Amino acid sequence: MARRRQLYEGKAKILFEGPEPGTLVQYFKDDATAGNGAKKGIITGKGVLNNRISEHLMMRLHDIGIPTHFIRRLNMREQLIREVEIIPLEVVVRNVAAGSLAKRLGIPEGTRLPRTIIEYYYKNDSLNDPMVSEEHITAFDWASVHDLDDMVALTMRTNDFLTGLFVGIGITLVDFKLEFGRLWEGDEMRIVLADEISPDNCRLWDAKTSEKLDKDRFRRDLGRVEEAYQEVAWRLGILPEATNSDMKGPEVMQ
Ligand code: TMP
């Protein structure tokens, strides 16, 4: 079988040329990094789980009218996506103080924020993804005022929907990161959700115990990393049952 041409390799995913113009194949690796690559490791089975979790969440978002780059899952580690022009921003949404916000502002982790806070980071590894304001974004033309309006509206709807979805399975959506792209259809341009939504880029805490069910288990060496990702997939109803820690490739329900 002919190999697809690789277009880009990131820390956790690889992008290949898609079968038709305007499509790409997104491959999910088991590689994990933290601190902009300072810490590296492998989380066995992570790619399989994130492919499935992201598929599930993107499809639910599509169902409520949020446009995404996702087309369909191809196999255990790959999904077909639309090729978009990635906006070089990480949009972070916070409901509860944690991570860099807790540290920077001295707010204890776990404090519910008075309202949802959106932050922007400029995607640039050599600069360590610095936090930027709307002023920077529009002045340097990374996105227009109109693009930003669309991104904020999509971000807030995504947060409302995902918060509710996770509450339903006993999980608090503490914070998460979104990326957006421009999708061109002739002369028309739409902003769509891109990248992935998974425990790699969300903070997910058990609602009762506050146990961390996300990549912080890797970042902070808390152990039981694979099990946390499996637990999220299981609660979302996309694994038949929680499996044990030596799982190499989890069984995925169709
Ligand atoms: P932070 O507290 O480290 O700023 O992270 C906020 C959220 O954004 C958290 O859910 C993890 C996610 N995130 C990424 O997905 N990629 C990143 O590069 C960073 C800095 C955060």
Q: What residue segments make up the domains of the chain, in order of their start?
A: 4-84+225-238, 85-206
Average pLDDT over residues 141-170: 98
**128 phi-psi bin (left φ>0, alpha ψ -120 to 50, beta other):** left
Q: Per-residue pLDDT averaged across 188-209, rounded?
A: 98
Q: How confident is the model at residue 220 (pLDDT cuts 50, 70, 90)?
A: very high
Please give the CATH architecture assigned to the domain spanning 85-206.
2-Layer Sandwich (3.30)
CB distance 249 to 230 below 8 Å: no
Enter the pTM of the model: 0.93
Q: Which whole-number Å values give the CA distances from 64 to 57, 117, 251, 253, in the listed order?
A: 11, 22, 28, 23
Q: Give the CA count within 13 Å in the CB-facing half-sphere of 56.
A: 22
Q: Is the CB of 212 under 6 A from ligand 1?
A: no
- Say if ligand 1 is within 6 A of residue 211 CB: no
Instruction: Pick the atom of ligand 1 nearest to 36's CA.
Output: 18
Distance 89 CA to ligand 1 centre (A): 12
Q: Please say if the pLDDT value at position 21 is more than 90.
A: yes
- Encode 177-194: b = buried (16+ Cβ within 10 Å), e = exposed: bbbbbbbeeeeeeebbbb
Helix (H, G, I), strand (E, B) or coil at 205: strand
pLDDT at 252: 47
**Cα-to-centroid distance, 100 and ligand 1 (Å):** 8
For residue 194, pLDDT over 50 is answered with yes
Judged against a pLDDT cut of 90, whether residue 163 lies above it is answered with yes
Ligand 1 in reach of 203 Cβ (< 6 A): yes
Q: Which atom of ligand 1 is nearest to the CA of 121?
A: 20
Which of 101, 111, 175 to mutate for ligand 1's pocket (most ligand atoms within 8 Å of CB)? 175
Percent of the chain with pLDDT over 70: 93
Question: Which pLDDT belongs to residue 240?
Answer: 64
Nearest-CA residue for ligand 1 atom 2 is 99
Q: How many residues does the chain have?
A: 254
Distance 20 CA to ligand 1 centre (A): 33
CA atoms of 116 and 95, how far apart (whole Å): 5
Domain 4-84+225-238 sits in CATH at 3.30.200.20
Mean pLDDT, the chain, whole residue set? 94
Atom of ligand 1 nearest to the CA of 214: 10
Q: How far apart are CA 57 and CA 61, in angstroms?
A: 6
Backbone angles phi, psi at 237, to 5 degrees: 85, 20
> How much distance in Å is there from the Cα of 41 to the middle of ligand 1?
17
With cut-offs at 50, 70 and 90, classify the pLDDT of residue 3.
Answer: confident
Question: Is the pLDDT higher at 210 or at 36?
Answer: 210
pLDDT value, residue 31: 98
Give yes or no for a contact between 216 and 204, defined as CB atoms under 8 angstroms apart: no
Q: What average pLDDT does this structure show over 88-114?
A: 98
Report the atom number in ligand 1 closest to the C-alpha of 177. 8
Please report, as a single letter, which amino acid is at residue 231.
E
**Torsion of Cα atoms, 31 then 32 then 37 then 41, to 10°:** -80
pLDDT of residue 82: 98
Instruction: Say yes or no: CB of residue 177 within 6 Å of ligand 1.
Output: yes
User: Is residue 254 over pLDDT 50?
Assistant: no
Position 251 pLDDT exceeds 60: no
CB of 99 closer than 6 angstroms to any ligand 1 atom: yes
Beta bridge partners of 103: none
Mapped onto helix, strand or coil, the DSSP state of residue 86 is strand
Mutating to test ligand 1, I would choose from 178, 201, 205 the residue with most ligand atoms within 8 A of its C-beta, which is 201
* 200 CA distance to ligand 1 middle (Å): 9
175 lines ligand 1 (CB under 6 A): yes
Give the least confident one: 1-15, 40-54, 90-104, 168-182.
1-15
